[in-house]
Amino acid sequence: MSKRRVSYFYDPDVGSYTYGLGHPMKPHRILMAHELISSYPSHLLLSHPSLTHFRPPRASAQQMTAFHTDEYVHFLSRVTPETMDELTGRGTQFLVGDDNPAFEGIWEFCTISAGGSLGAAKRINEGRSDIAINWAGGLHHAKKREASGFCYINDIVLAILDLLRVFPRVLYVDIDCHHGDGVEEAFYTTDRVMTCSFHKYGEYFPGTGTQEDRGRGKGRGYALNVPLKDGMSDETFKSVFDPVLERILAVFRPSAIILQCGADSLSGDKLGCFNLTMQGHAHCTSFLRKFNIPLILLGGGGYTVKNVARAWCYETACALGVQHELVPQGEEGGMMPWNEYFEWFGPRYRLEVVKNNMEDVNLRIADPKIDRVRERALQQIKELEG
Ligand code: ZLS
Ligand code: CA
Ligand code: ZN
């Protein structure tokens, strides 16, 4: 297995922001992932000869306006829990409902999340890195002039716009349990960006992402959606992911790839409803890594924080190709090293996310949805061949 030059972006302040008591989105999980990564013998991960560790420069308001409106960015840079009330008229226009509170430090948090993804894009653009990682990014729902689904600034769209300055075609793959609507919408009419989201569909946020949504104008066919049902297992997921990505890579021939690794598709997630193990989730990283196309790994959702930390630690190892040294293949891995959050990982203290016994609704005999969904997705890709 050949080496990859990996850049890892992490800002030590990111874990101190909070969306508020009782809010499911917890930036602290990124600190937990980092602590877990740091707890492994350093030559394996953080001090691996192929890994460079960066504290990313914070994104500027000007960088954000490459996608977002000046008014919206200006609002975000000024809003605080206190001024939110004064700015109610304008605030409600930008921050709708309880999903996106105006929390303390909201602007700095946005500059950290977007700064990491822009830093990742820069390393890839300069050809200095094969894989760049920002677990604080992946906030796929943010719109041009509106926050949505816990996302304020769309760091993914900003990173893709930056990659497009150097690369002719960018592929965006989204394995978060929710539809990657903000990214899809931003590139809906271009054939230079192909978006591909796997997500739960049916009475689920944000309610978009059917196979009818395929892109428009020049972009027709370049937005691919794979709507799924509850209980998605590793095997069923792989049976769709592998052939679909294999065909996309052959037909679209991306010059760079962004993988949004939303961890709410893991088994036991508080908001998600899939049944993927850590290895089933990380398979997506390992699969895309094999093709040796410049790759950016971003975070996203993930609400059972101990599992988010496990998955993103393991996927950092996958980027380096050393995952088998963390969890020996075919064996039960041993206990994880001691770390700041060790007790959160009980009772087994292992680097694992195990499946549960929920039914894989995608496989219901009476309604073999998954075969139709796969066929339709492959048909859409075939049509791109012209
Ligand atoms: O993809 O379902 C919704 C919207 C509502 C229902 C919930 N209420 C609070 C607002 C209106 C229709 N929102 C989803 C958003 C899911 C975003 C996923 C982001 C990502 O993973 C990428 C990062 C939703 N699901 C669950 C909640 N919101 C939610 C649950 C509990 C709470 C507490 C805090 C806030 C209000 C009470 C909240 C939201
Ligand atoms: Ca998704
Ligand atoms: Zn999600």
Let me know if residue 71 belongs to a domain.
Answer: no
Let me know if residue 125 belongs to a domain.
Answer: yes
266: closest CA among 221, 220, 320, 315? 315
Q: Based on the structure, what is the number of domains in the chain?
A: 1
Interval 60-72 mean pLDDT: 98
Interval 129-147: pLDDT, tens: 999 999 999 999 999 999 9
Return the higher-pLDDT residue of 99 and 92.
Answer: 99
Let me know if residue 99 belongs to a domain.
Answer: no
Helix (H) or strand (E) holding 383: helix 369-384
**Does 205 sit in the ligand 1 pocket, CB within 6 Å?**
yes
Residue 301 sits at the vertex; the CA angle it makes with 158 and 254, to the nearest 5 degrees, is 45
Query: Which of 99, 141, 261, 307 to mutate for ligand 1's pocket (most ligand atoms within 8 Å of CB)?
Result: 99
CA–CA gap between residue 344 and residue 304 (Å, rounded): 11
Which two structure tokens, joined as six digits, stand for 47?
């001090």
Q: Specify the pLDDT at position 180.
A: 99
Q: Specify the pLDDT at position 96.
A: 82
What does DSSP assign to residue 329?
T
Confidence check: pLDDT of 330 > 90 = no
* CATH code of residue 335: 3.40.800.20
Confidence class for position 307, pLDDT limits 50, 70, 90: very high
Confidence check: pLDDT of 88 > 60 = no
Percent of the chain with pLDDT over 70: 97
Interval 50-77 mean pLDDT: 98
Q: How far is ligand 3, taken at its centre, from the CA of residue 301, in Å? A: 4
CA–CA gap between residue 384 and residue 380 (Å, rounded): 7
Q: Specify the pLDDT at position 1.
A: 60
Which two structure tokens, joined as six digits, stand for 66?
């490459």
Residue 71 φ/ψ region, left for φ over 0, alpha for ψ in the -120 to 50 degree band, beta for the rest: alpha
**Does 208 sit in the ligand 1 pocket, CB within 6 Å?**
no
* Helix runs in 253-352, H state only: 278-289, 305-320, 323-326
Task: Take atom 30 of ligand 1 and give the residue whose Cα is closest.
Answer: 24
Confidence class for position 53, pLDDT limits 50, 70, 90: very high
Confidence class for position 9, pLDDT limits 50, 70, 90: very high
Confidence check: pLDDT of 128 > 80 = yes
Q: Specify the pLDDT at position 319.
A: 98
Confidence class for position 367, pLDDT limits 50, 70, 90: low
Q: Specify the pLDDT at position 140.
A: 99
Q: Which residue in 34, 68, 140, 141 is the catalytic one?
A: 141
Confidence check: pLDDT of 383 > 90 = yes
Let me know if residue 69 belongs to a domain.
Answer: no
Q: How far is ligand 2, taken at its centre, from the CA of residue 94, in Å? A: 23
Residue 380 sits at the vertex; the CA angle it makes with 379 and 382, to the nearest 5 degrees, is 60
Let me know if residue 363 belongs to a domain.
Answer: yes
What does DSSP assign to residue 250?
H
Q: How far is ligand 2, taken at its centre, from the CA of residue 41, in Å? A: 33
Interval 172-183: pLDDT, tens: 999 999 999 999
Q: How far is ligand 3, taken at its centre, from the CA of residue 44, in Å? A: 30
Any catalytic annotation for residue 28? no
Interval 272-295: pLDDT, tens: 999 999 999 999 999 999 999 999
CA–CA gap between residue 245 and residue 264 (Å, rounded): 21
Q: What is the mean pLDDT of the chain?
A: 96
Q: What is the 3-state secondary structure (H, E, C) of 88-122?
A: HHHHHHHCCCCCCCCCCCHHHHHHHHHHHHHHHHH
Residue 156 sits in which domain range? 6-56+113-384
Let me know if residue 107 belongs to a domain.
Answer: no
Ligand 1 atom nearest 23 alpha carbon: 34
Interval 76-81 mean pLDDT: 93
Confidence class for position 369, pLDDT limits 50, 70, 90: confident
Cis before residue 24, ω within 30 degrees of 0?
no
Q: For the beta carbon of residue 140, count every other beta carbon within 10 angstroms.
A: 31
Let me know if residue 349 belongs to a domain.
Answer: yes
Let me know if residue 247 belongs to a domain.
Answer: yes
